[in-house]
Amino acid sequence: MSADLNPIEKAKYVSARRAVDYVEDGMRVGLGTGSTAAWMVRCLAEMVRNDGLNITGVATSTRTAELATSLGIKVVDLNEAKWLDVTIDGADEFDDNLTLIKGGGGALLQEKIVATASDKMVVITDPTKHVKTLGAFPLPVEVIPFGWQTTQSLIEKALVDLDVDGRNITLRLNQDASFRTDEGNLILDLHLERLEDAQQVSHVLNQIPGVVENGLFINLCDVVIVGAADGSAIVRDINNGTVTNEQVAVNESDSIFTDVGG
C-alpha cells in the first residue's frame, strides 16, 4: 500500500480490495461512483491485467465509465447487460440496518437503478460513514429543471409533517452554476440533520411532482465493508446476520497507484 495515502484513503483502499473478492470470472459487475468506488475500479482493473479476470462492467456515471474503460475494463450499458451479479459502490452514510444515504457525487439515480438490477449490493466505506441515525449527511434529491423552485417548495411543505430535525434545502452548485446530473437534472440537498423513518421520508419525497429520485437506499445493500488504515476490515452481512473482523491481504505492488490522481 502506498505510504503517501492518508488514513482515510488507506481505509477506502482496504475496503475496495476486500470487496473485489466478491467478483468472479464471467460476472456482470455494477461499478459505483465516488472516491471509494474508484479504488474498487482500480483493483478490478489490476485483476483484469494481471490475473486475466474476464468481467463486464456497468458504470453508474460517465466518470466511472471513463475510468474503467481507460484501465481496460469492458463497460456496457445496463440495457445490454440486463441484470448484474453484483454491484460494488460507496455510501455517504449507513446505519446498522444497512440503510444508506448516497448521492454525494450526484449519481444517485443511476446508482439506485444499477443496485436494484443486481443480485447483490456490496458497499465499501471508511469508518466515518457509519452512523447511529441517518441525516447528518445532506440527503440528495434529484429533480427535473422545469419548475424546480416549485418542487423545492413542495418538499419544504412535506418535511413539516416528517420526523426530521432540519428542513433547510439548498440547490447543489458546481462552482457558480447549478450542478447537473448525467441526465441533465438538478440536485436539491436536504439538510435534515436526523431522520428516523427512512421508508416514510423516501415514500413522501418520491410522490412529489418534479422529484425524480432520492438518495435513500433501503433494503438494497447486502454487505457493508468498513476498511481501516491498518489493513483490517469489518464485514457486515445483513443476510447472514454476521459481523466479522478480517485482515485484508493488501497487494504491496505499486502498480495500482500509478493512475491515482483523479
Query: 35: annotated binding-site residue?
Result: yes
Question: Any binding-site annotation on 103?
Answer: yes
Q: Which of 111, 193, 213, 246 is catalytic?
A: 111
3-state secondary structure of 89: strand
**Residue 129 counted as an annotated binding residue:** yes
- Structural contact between residues 186 and 66, judged by C-beta atoms closer than 8 angstroms: no
Half-sphere exposure of 12 (CA within 13 A, CB side): 21
Report how far apart the first and last C-alpha atoms of the chain are (Å, whole number): 18
111 is catalytic: yes
Which residues in 51-62 are b (16+ Cβ under 10 Å) and which e? eebebbbbbbbe
Residue 135 known to bind ligand: no
Which cell goes with 106? 450526484
Q: Is 102 annotated as a binding residue?
A: yes
Q: Where are the beta strands (DSSP E) in 69-222?
A: 74-75, 86-89, 93-94, 100-101, 121-125, 139-143, 168-171, 173-174, 177-178, 186-191, 211-214, 216-217
Is 255 known to sit in a ligand binding site? no
Q: Any binding-site annotation on 33?
A: yes
Q: Where are the alpha helices (DSSP H) in the chain?
A: 7-19, 35-51, 62-70, 78-81, 108-116, 148-159, 198-206
Q: What is the DSSP letter of 244?
A: E
Identity of residue 215: G
Show Cβ contacts of residue 75 under 8 Å, excluding neighbours closer than 6 positions. Answer: 31, 56, 57, 58, 59, 65, 68, 69
**Is 107 among the annotated ligand-binding positions?**
no
Is 72 annotated in a binding site? The answer is: no
Is 105 labelled a binding residue?
A: yes
Residues belonging to the binding site are 33-36, 89-92, 102-105, 129
Q: Which residues are annotated as a binding site for substrate?
A: 33-36, 89-92, 102-105, 129
Return the active site residues.
Answer: 111
